[in-house]
Amino acid sequence: MSSRVPLPGFALSLGYTLTFMSLIVFLPLAAIAWKSADLSWEQFVQTVSHPRALAAMRLTFSTALIAAAINIVLGLIVAWVLVRYEFPFKRWVDALIDLPFALPTAVAGLVYASLYMKDGWIGRFIVPMGIEIAYTPAAIVMVLVFTGFPFVVRAVQPVLEEIDTDLEEASAILGATRWQTFWMVLWPNLRPAVVTGFALALARGLGEYGSVIFVSSNLPGKTEVAPTLIVARIEENKFAEATALALVLLLSSFALLGLINVWEKWSRRHEA
């Protein structure tokens, strides 16, 4: 007796999906690994362990992690306001959340650089006080917060909309504080969405290039991130070295995102 597939056209849909994923995702990833194979193992290790490469990797991961952590706080607050409160021009504010998706990141970098440079609208006031943001790691964090902010909001917002406010009212009636209500009632439902938003913002920050080049001075060992170093190697016609760095960045990103997913699954089983 032959088994019937619940959805018609499953074989065709699966074949289309695998073909699309192979051409768009798997093939470019395989090309990175193949091109980096032009280097011998000693050359590969020398390339990825060079002090300039290590400094760029450290700066890339540290700024991306800090920006993603900041986005968790900001994203939760903004999502909460958009879901729980009514105020004038709410739809306009909600639409502005998606602006970093539509705005070229290079434009964002130019805007932040013009604001915080010495003669910028904000920089002219804070630079004389000894606060310099433009062309520093702090500026990189700021643009990464801007580009990754919508991921957290859009991941948390639909979950908040599905949480019945009666649960919060019941918690308050039973004598729970606002913090206890958040931690015991809301957080278990919000945590998977927060982790998803954090992972997406982190992944975006690790590969960001367009906005970073305008707000950092791209000094090797100081304000140079890994994507900028990869582009520099390409401009030097060192394609094998560029792909080697890209491969390390890719594998490191996969490993970090994998650890986040493993932690989330472990915490779910632990609570269950």
Half-sphere exposure of 36 (CA within 13 A, CB side): 24
Alpha helices in 49-103 (DSSP H): 51-84, 90-96, 99-102
| CB atoms closer than 10 angstroms to residue 236 | 10
Residue located via tokens 């030097």 = 236
| Domain annotation for the chain: domains and CATH numbers | 10-39 (no CATH), 40-271 (1.10.3720.10)
Question: Could you read off the pLDDT of 209-266 as tens digits, one per residue?
Answer: 888 988 988 888 889 999 999 999 999 999 999 999 999 988 888 888 888 878 777 7
Supply the DSSP string of 7-33, one letter for each residue: STTHHHHHHHHHHHHIIIIIHHHHHHH
Q: Tens of pLDDT along 119-143?
A: 888 988 898 888 888 889 999 999 9
C-alpha separations of 272 from 182, 254, 265, 267, 268 in Å = 19, 27, 11, 9, 6
Report residue 85: phi and psi, to 5°. Answer: -125, 155
Q: Given CA atoms 96, 97, 98, 99 in this order, what sign does their dihedral have?
A: positive
Q: For the packed helices 137-162 and 51-84, what is the interaxial angle rounded to 10 degrees? A: 40
pLDDT band (50, 70, 90) for residue 57:
very high
Contact in structure between 133 and 142 (CB atoms under 8 Å) = yes
**Burial call 116-128: b when 16+ CB within 10 Å, e when fewer:** bbeebeebeeebe
Element (H, E) at 167: helix 165-173
- Kindly tell me the sign of the dihedral angle through the C-alpha atoms of 156, 192, 59, 39: negative
Share of the chain above pLDDT 90, in %: 34
Among 68-77, 204-213, 262-271, which is the least confidently predicted range? 262-271
